[in-house]
Every structure is written in structure tokens, then in C-alpha cells.
């Protein structure tokens, strides 16, 4: 019990911080749409995307995020150390 308590006190704040950053990152998707809208230099005009195309993109991002989050966490918990798995994901994303 004491070990679990100490781990909770060390790990839980870090997890809360990561979830906060994740929430801010996903929240910025909406902010990016309206940024510089009054000057006509917004995301939709720069990428030549319609409002429906933007909504579809955000929906696909959310679905992909949900689908890949669970298997990624499973792999990280059962097969590979988190430091190696996250390093691999960063390398793969950079290569992509």
C-alpha cells in the first residue's frame, strides 16, 4: 500500500500534466480555424478548405486518435518500455 501511495504521488501529477497538454492540443484545433479570420489570412483560406472539409478533417483526426490510442497504450504497457515506444513513435512520425 505504501509503495502504491508513493507511486501515485509521483506518477499521478505527471499524468495529469500530460492530459492537460493533450486537452490544450486538441482544443487548439478550434482556435486555429478562427485565428486571423478578420484579416482573411485564416487556416481555411490558406489551405483552400471549406467549412465542411475542415469539420471532416477534425472528425477523422478524433476518430483516428481514439482508434490508435488504446492499442498504443496496450503495446506500451505489455511489450515495450514507454521510453522506447514513444521514441519509436516520434521517429516514425518524423519519417512519415
Angle at 21 between CA 63 and CA 73, to 5 degrees: 50
CA dihedral (67, 69, 70, 76) positive or negative = positive
Looking at residue 94, its pLDDT comes to 92
Question: Residues of the chain whose pLDDT is less than 50?
Answer: none
Looking at residue 10, its pLDDT comes to 83
Count the domains in the chain.
Answer: 1
Looking at residue 92, its pLDDT comes to 92
Angstrom distances, CA of residue 31 to CA of 13, 21, 64: 27, 15, 20
The domain in which residue 25 lies consists of: 1-95
Looking at residue 9, its pLDDT comes to 84
Amino acid at each position: 500500500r505504501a509503495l502504491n501511495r508513493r507511486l501515485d504521488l509521483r506518477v499521478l501529477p505527471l499524468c495529469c500534466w500530460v492530459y492537460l497538454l493533450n486537452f490544450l492540443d486538441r482544443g487548439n484545433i478550434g482556435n486555429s480555424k478562427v485565428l486571423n479570420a478578420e484579416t482573411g489570412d485564416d487556416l481555411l483560406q490558406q489551405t483552400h478548405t471549406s467549412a465542411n472539409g475542415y469539420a471532416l478533417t477534425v472528425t477523422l483526426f478524433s476518430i483516428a486518435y481514439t482508434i490508435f490510442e488504446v492499442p498504443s497504450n496496450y503495446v506500451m504497457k505489455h511489450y515495450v518500455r514507454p521510453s522506447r515506444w514513444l521514441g519509436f513513435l516520434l521517429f516514425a512520425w518524423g519519417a512519415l
